[in-house]
Each structure stands twice: as structure tokens, then as C-alpha cells.
Structure 1
């Protein structure tokens, strides 16, 4: 099986390399990229032109012109040991080897007033090229986060992709990042025109065109710089980057051989609207008084300690299987205030109404704020239940990101309030950081009823054509499969921002399109990571002191999952399990290929060999 895969992959790579070189030569015709070697001296046909490699200097600005919309805005060579800085404060990071920075602008952008967030010169792309001797014949582009954007990528005076720079210099891949067509940082203001209408151009650049242009232009630059097409091209992204990876597989399946997609932000308007639900619960049920950090920690700790023995009979310090955790704080005297019939007399105690708010936050958004008893349904469903609009965060996950506050003032996740404002086409529903000529954000989200938030969710779905299908929830990946692509998806079971059930839901729907899980696993594999937060790190709250140890789950090491993907793409070794460790290597456990789950089979509870995937 491995030999057949390798042979087919080799044929595919050769064909793509020839096609890319041909396309590159055609695009570069008439520029200084291809220099003729001279005629035959006898008046006959001139000798074939000899390709001349792109140089890391000002000549590249005219030599690289793949189309009329693409402009090279900056070229900068860094020598080994140089600080990776263009101007301003030093980054503190030195180049591990020689590397070349190329900044591109891909138009046409979106015209408008100079101070409007929706005005754009185009898609900013930052490409890093290693030295010829260092190149590993791979392209590895990196996905963005949140709304992406940010002036650092398209600015001439700053380095945006420091991670991309260090990867290019250390591992030898050609790397790239993009601002996806806007320079606004931290808000979705770019997606609304000054008159309040939908900016369909920048929605398109953000959703799809920016990442596709990055893929195409990065591979073309690599080919022109090294006079050889990359053998393998990879996408590596989490959160928004995970959504972007799936968008590439859906819309541009030929762009990448391998895609690593973590905690994908697909189902965008559904789950992001639901991210505002915890704040709306506190507005509607608790009179706008947020749960305190101490209350969030107390109840989450109780949930962890109630459910962290389910795997091996011992307290792990995090919940291994949220689907089986039915903890109900309304029935837990240890967290309920004495006035509510409990035994907790501390300032962190919760009333019965507050305890029920936790159940609502864990269950997920409903149209009327209702929530079933956890004994019947904890919200961890393969498909949303009839009364669920979307999933909530899992029990035991730290809640301060979505249910947070600052000095008693509600602190919503602003991407959620921005998305509601964009879906309702009314900037006032956003927080004040959202800027628009019709009026800036005015925290009107606080007035939303459960029904009105449900309407915002429905509007987000209805506007998908205008939002360039930002939900990225098309389950048909057959074109990506048929061209030989491989995709590895992972998601933390204690993700503090994106409910992991959404990834399971999409993976199941995509599997159904191709005939079930076994068929999907030939090219698309999912691994859930117990205890992990958003993209990396620990997302679990600590359990009850003196009962459970501090949350310290075994987690993927840096680059571990990417290396697994490379091994699958280049060597045909599809991962069945992935053994992960704690930072001190004291505890190891296997991650299981979904839909299998981890089971304890006996032995040292800290050793991976004591567990099996079933």
C-alpha cells in the first residue's frame, strides 16, 4: 500500500512541477526573469531562453510580475545572525540562517475614504525564502487568527510573520503569511462599508481569495527563486487558520498536498454568534451582573473533580471525555450558597439561578434560553439537538474567555459581538472598538433577548452568499481527496473559544459524503486532544484543591502534529495514534483517531502503554 501511494504521489508531483514551471515561464515572459542566451549566429531561430533565478534584491520588483494585480513592495535579505527587524524596535530574534523577505500586494483591493476600515489597497502577503542550500523543497504557509488582518504584514516598516521567518531560517521551508486583504487589527470593521452595507469584496478576500493568492504567489516565488517547483506544499493553521485550511480543501483543492487544521473556525456565524450566548445569559438571567472570576473557577473546578476519574479511576486533573460528564451545579451543595440550600459560605458561592446559568453556558445557545437537565442531555451531541442552535463549551473548561468580566464589567469576546453586528448590519451591536461612519459600536448587544440573538444567528446563515460563504461548512472534500491531498484535523476537548463538537459534527458530515469514517480516513483524519485549550496549552480549569491535581494533560509538542502530517504525505504512513507527553515527560498518553476513544487497559496510569484506542 505504501509503495503504491509513493508511486502515485511521485507521478502527481512531477506533473504538477512541470505544469507550475510552464505557468511560471508564461507569466514571466517579457520581464527580466527569463534572459535569452543569444541567437545561433546564423540567422536561424534563436536559442531557447535560459531561466534566470530571481535575486533577493531590488531587481525582484520588476522580475516577479505574475499578473497586473501583483506588486512587489519590499525585498530584504537577512544574513545568518541578523536581527529580524525592518525598522523601529528590534524584534530580538536573529536569523538562524540566510533568509530573504519578499512583501507582495495583490489588488485590486477596495477603494474608499482613507480613514475607513473598509478601504484596502489589496491583499498583503509576506513570503520568506531560505538560502538555496537550505531549502527542503517544501512550501509551508501559516494560517491567521481571529479576523486576521493587521498592518504588520502589509506595512513596509514591520515584520508581520516572525514565526514564518524563523521557520524559513531554521527548517528551510518557504513560508508565508497574509493579512487576507485588510490592515485592520482586532475588529471586523473592515467588513462593513462606510454606509453600513456589506463589504462583499473584503469578505471575499478574507474568506477565500487572500489565502488562495498566498498559495499561488508563494509557490510561484519559490519556483522563480530556486528554478525548481516545490515538491510538497503544506498549510499549517489553527482557529481561523483551521477554517482557512478547510476552505482551501473545499474551494482550491489543488493548492496544497497536506493541510494541518487545528480547532477550525468553520461554522463561523453559527459558533461565533453562540460565543456571545454566555454574556447574553448573564444579561437576561442575572440582571447584567456577570459571574465573578472566583465563581467561574469554583464551579468549573467542581465539574473537573466530578468527572476526571472516568478514564482510570484516579483524578487526572482534567476531563478526558466531556460527553460523559453530567455534572450539575444546581444539585451540588458544595458550590451553592447557604441561602440557596447549599453549604458554601464563601464569596465565590453561587445561587441556584447562577448555577443554572452555568448549565446554559455549557449546553449552548437555544432560541429561548431553555436548557435540559444534564442528566438527560449535556449538549455534547453529534448533531445539535432540536432546541440547540449551537454547542457550548465543555464542562471543566476555563470560562473566563467567553463569560469573562473586568472589575465587574462584562467583557464579551469581541469577535462575537462584531459578528452579530455584521449579521444584523448594525454597527451599534458591537463594542466601541468597531468603527463605522454610520456610528461606532455602542454595546447594544447587551439589549439582545434570546430570540433576538437567535435571529442574528439565522441572519448570519442567510447572508452566506454576501459573506463569501465564511461558514466554510461544505462537507464535500472529494476534489481534495481525488487530487491526492491529505488533511489532519485536531481539536482540544477543553477549547476555551471554539466548542470541539463543531469539528466532530463537520468531520462526520464530510465522512458521510464519502461513505463513512473508514473512507474518510484514507485522506482526512481527526484527533481530539483531552484537556487542551484553544490550539495549544491547557484549557481545563484546575479541579478542587486537595482532590484533583493541577490540570497538566499530555499535549502535542511543537511541530509534532505537522511532522505527523508530513510523514503521511511524503511516506504514506497514516497516523493511527499519536503519543503525546507532558512537558516534563512524566505522563504520556495516545491520542485516538476519531471516532475511537481512549480506554485504560491496566498498568501504570502515567504510561501510554496502559491505554488503548477502542
Structure 2
């Protein structure tokens, strides 16, 4: 009888341990946590599975979390708002850092939700200001806020999160990861370059890392193309341009599917679109032909040297908002350029891209903007020595940041570190038919932002990164998925394709369903 009672007590004790929360601290008590230059403004336990945040669609299906919100003030002119979501029960022992897009100004709540559902403790900040992504007026007269945006907010969010995690779980995260795109991709590379011990694994998409050159290069492009009435062409002409590009290059990969797998092999000549008679929507005038050529070739200086590379053929209708606009000054690129120069570089609210000297603007941008905003160093030795792994990805049809920029950066790391050394900790994936971070004619869900592939999360880039960090080798089988909707509006898989590590490209095997990844392989170009 005593023996049976003893077994019962042991089993009861084990059950209590299993049922107990992973943390040793009450969530609400974290509000009184003392952290350097930081105030915890909110510490609440969210157990309902749903969460409403002003200005953001409601979240459902959340695990029980301890939601922490706070403000960091590393300088007298800093106000960096951040949030950290901590799973109360099934924490996987990992931390996930979330980045921003554009000029930032908001916290990436959707990514926080996606990763806490997967068991991560996840955190992100607004990068030091509250504003729309195209707005940089907050930087006017505030150099410290530019530093917060450029590099300080992401780094301090990592540091403060580590301290809060230690207080809540009474232990640190076993591994730390970062996943973001665009400006967040720039932040990702900034972390790897300036703060190499912050993260063990980094997933950096379409990085705006050459920020000072990229934005400044648009001045000459705008003057030559957008602001020249003879050279500017309406977005109504984009379908005809795309059709001509696909007619020239779509079938090069053996499958005519509206996707150019390897744009580097496409030699589409815009001259094929020249108007034979009057100017119509299905043709371009000679000045418009030259304008189109410049979009593909990129921005050049007065000596004809490329300043920043151009865009690729095959998804020209995706240029409507970013590159062309509904009128000559309506493109998103125009707003980014003017906001950047007015409020970050010249401190002149009347600065105009229409009248600025392009080469002077480039010099100004590099001199004043590069120190805080650029993340172009190819020396990742300290990150590699720390055991860090970096996966870069870029959509081949990115309409906001040239895909060639990521290839150029990847090659610069190989040259600086040596190809064998670089291959041991850096990979690049170029995604056919994918626009800026996601979207486009190609399959664009491949594990970024917590997105699942048709085969599940295991077959995405982020989980490949985790395998590389924790198991010593990345998963070689990456599946990219294109989703649509069925008749009831539920997600439906339309296409799957392998996603190949550069310089390999996806190739059709010659038989099988062209919408199924099993009909394709990754091969040398």
C-alpha cells in the first residue's frame, strides 16, 4: 500500500511539474523591472487567444502570452517603443527579432503573432518614431532619431528583450534569430555587421543595405524619366511591355508560365516595342524606349558608370506603384527620395528632386547618410566567428529594390571572406517571379515572416536557417508556394516550386505537372 501511494505521489508531482508554467515570474511584476534607459509601460497576461491593438486587425488563435510594451530612451531625443511577446507555456527556448519596412514607424505585430504561435519569444520596435512608412518628417532636426532608425533601435530591442526573458523564464534564450525584409533586411545586415553577437541566425530579405546610394541614385532617374514629359510613359503601357518581355524570355527555362526563372539569361530588347505609327498603349515612342532601357540598366553617373542596378523583365505590371505611378510624380520612389533628402540629408523641406544636382546629391547622401544607414560591409568575420549563419533572399522581380543589389553584396562577401569561408555561413536565394519581399506571379511563400509553405514550415527558409544553426547543416529542400483562394475564399495552393541557393536555378525536368515542385530540380545555370 505504501509503495502504491509513493508511486502515486511521484506521478502527481510529475504531472504538477508538467502542468506548471515555464516561467517563474508573474507577468505583471515585470512592469517594475529596472532596465537601463527603459520604462516598461505594459505587462499583461493575454490568455484569451485573441488580442486587439488599435490600428491593427485583431489577432486570434494566439497562445497564452505575457505581453510586454516599453519605451527606450538611449538619448535625450530618443523614444523607441517596443513590444516583447512571451509564451507562457510552450516556449521553445528561442528568441525572434522582428524588423521594419520603409522609414519604419510601426511595430511588426503580424510577425510577433506568427512566431509566438510557433513557440518563439518575439520582439520588435517602431525604430524610434510613429509614422507611415513613406514619411521621414520625424527626422527633421533630430539626428539622434536617425541613429535610432539606422541601427540603435534594433540592437537595443535585442538587449532589453534578453534581460526581460531572463527575468521571466529565469534563463536566457538558447538561440536568437532575426527575420525581416526591405528596411528590415538592412537592419538584419546592420546587426550582423555592427553587433555580430546579437543573433545566431539571420534571415535577411531584399535588404536596403546600400541605403545612401540606392535612394540618391533615384534623383537622376526621376529627372530623366519621370519629369521628362516625352520620356515618361503611363502605367497603362505596362501590360504591353510585360507581354513583350515574356514573349522574348518566358520559354527559355522550358516552361511558358509567366515566370522568367533566370533573368540574367534574358536579353529582351525594348526596341521591339517602338511605335510604327501613332503613339498607342501597345507601343513606345523612341524617348520612352530609352526610358524603359534605363529602368532595366539602372542609374548611371555622368561617366556612364552604374551607380545602382536596375530592375528585371517579366513582371512590369508590378512597377505601377513603385516605379511609374499614376502620373510623373506619383511613384512611391518619388516620395521616398524627397522625404529622405528633405528631412535626413539637407534639412531643407523645400528640397526638390526636380532641380537637385544628381551627383552632388549622391555625395551628400553618402557623406551624411551612410554612417548611420548603410550596412554594406563585406567583413562578416566576427559574425562567422560567433557561429552566426546568414541567409539572404531576394525576389527576381522586386519592383522596389533591385535584385542585383543582393547578388552584388553576396559576391562582395565571397570576395572579402573567400568563397569557401563565405559558403560556410552565408547563402543567397533568388526567387523567380517574386516581387518586393512577397507577391508577384511566382510562388512567394517560402518561410519568411513565419509564412508556411504547402509542405509545412519545415520546408521554408527560416526553418532551414534554424537547422543550419542548431544541426550544422541547412535543409536543402526549400519549397516555395503560390496561394490563391477557393470558391469559399479559403487559401488554396496554386503552385509549388523548389527555391534554389544561388547561383543554382530551378529547372524543369521535362515532364510532369509544371505547378508541382517535384517536376523541377535545382541545377547549375
Q: TM-score, normalised by structure 2?
A: 0.84
Cα 1:417–1:409 shift into 2, 3 Å: closer
**SS of the residue aligned with 2:353?**
helix
Alignment of 1:118-197 (within 5 A): 120=78, 122-131=79-88, 133-150=89-106, 153=107, 161-168=109-116, 170-186=117-133, 187-193=135-141
Distance 1:278 1:301, change over 3 A: farther
Q: 1:497: how far off? A: 0.3
1:411 alignment partner, one of 331, 334, 343? 331
For 1:239, the equivalent position in structure 2 comes to 182
Is 1:453 equivalent to 2:358 in the alignment? yes
Determine whether 1:317 maps to 2:262: no
Structure 1 residue aligned with 2:473: 573
The alignment status of 1:562 with 2:472, answered yes or no, reads: no
* Aligned alpha-carbon RMSD (Å): 2.5
What's the offset of the Cα at 1:339? 2.6
Shift of 1:599: 4.1
Aligned pair count reads 478
Matches within 5 A, 1:371-410: 387-397=305-315, 398-406=318-326, 410=330
Moved more, 178-187 or 594-603: 594-603
Picking from 334, 350, 355, the partner of 2:289 is: 355
State which of 229, 235, 241 in structure 2 corresponds to 1:299.
241
Q: Which structure has the larger Rg over C-alpha atoms?
A: 1
1:595 to 495, 503, 506: 503
Instruction: Quote the Cα distance in structure 2 between the aligned partners of 1:400 and 1:144.
Output: 23
Could you tell me which of 31, 45, 51 is aligned with 1:61? 31
How many angstroms does 1:310 deviate by? Answer: 1.2
Q: 1:520 aligns with which of 422, 433, 440?
A: 422
Q: Is the aligned partner of 1:308 residue 2:232?
A: no
| Cα displacement (A) at 1:179 | 1.2
Contact 1:283 1:446 in 2 (8 A): no
C-alpha separation in 2, matches of 1:306 and 1:293: 21
SS class of match (2:474): coil
Deviation at 1:567, TM superposition (A): 1.5
Shift in Å at residue 336 of structure 1?
Answer: 2.9
Shift of 1:520: 0.7
- List aligned pairs for 1:208-223, cutoff 5 A: 208-223=151-166
* Higher fraction of helix: 2
Tell me the equivalent position of 2:194: 251
Moved over 6 A (4+): none
Contact 1:278 1:403 in 2 (8 A): no
Give the match for residue 382 of structure 2. 479
CA pair 611-97 structure 1, distance change in 2 beyond 3 A:
closer
Give the deviation of 1:505 after TM superposition. 0.7
Partners of 1:402 and 1:419 in 2: CA distance:
16
The reply to whether residue 611 of structure 1 matches residue 521 of structure 2 is yes
Is the contact between residue 274 and residue 391 of structure 1 (CA under 8 Å) also seen in structure 2? no
Distance 2:310 2:360 in 1: 18
Q: CA 1:422 to 1:325, structure 2 compared with 1: closer, same or farther past 3 Å?
A: farther
1:463 aligns with 2:410: no
Contact 1:290 1:405 in 2 (8 A): no
Flag the structure with higher strand content. 2
In the other structure, the counterpart of 2:395 is 492
What residue is the counterpart of 2:342 in the other structure? Answer: 421
Distance (Å, rounded) in 1 between the aligned partners of 2:350 and 2:403: 27
TM-score, normalised relative to structure 1 = 0.73
CA contact (8 A) 2:498 2:521 kept: yes
Please give the alpha-carbon distance, in whole angstroms, between the structure 1 residues aligned to 2:227 and 2:35. 55
Which whole-Å CA distance do the structure 1 matches of 2:482 and 2:30 have between them? Answer: 46
Q: Is the 8 A contact 2:150 2:372 kept in 1?
A: yes
Q: CA deviation at 1:490?
A: 0.6
Per-residue deviation, 1:66: 2.6
Task: Give the deviation of 1:56 after TM superposition.
Answer: 1.4
Q: What is the CA–CA distance in structure 2 between the aligned matches of 1:80 and 1:571, rounded to whole Å?
A: 35
Match of residue 47 from structure 2 = 79
Kindly state the Cα deviation for residue 426 of structure 1 after the two structures are TM-superposed.
Answer: 4.4
* Alpha-carbon distance between aligned partners in 1 of 2:505 and 2:118, rounded to the nearest angstrom: 34
Residues of 2 paired with 1:171 and 1:424: CA distance? 41
3-state SS, counterpart of residue 252 of structure 2: coil
Deviation at 1:600, TM superposition (A): 4.4
Which residue, out of 516, 522, 533, partners 2:435? Answer: 533
Is the aligned partner of 1:93 residue 2:52?
Answer: no
1:500 CA drift (Å): 0.9
Contact 2:139 2:344 in 1 (8 A): no
2:24 and 2:169 in contact (8 A); partners too: yes
Please say if residues 203 and 468 of structure 1, whose CA atoms lie closer than 8 Å, have aligned partners that are also in contact.
no
CA distance in 1, matches of 2:242, 2:291: 13
SS of equivalent to 1:447: coil
Aligned match of 2:8: none
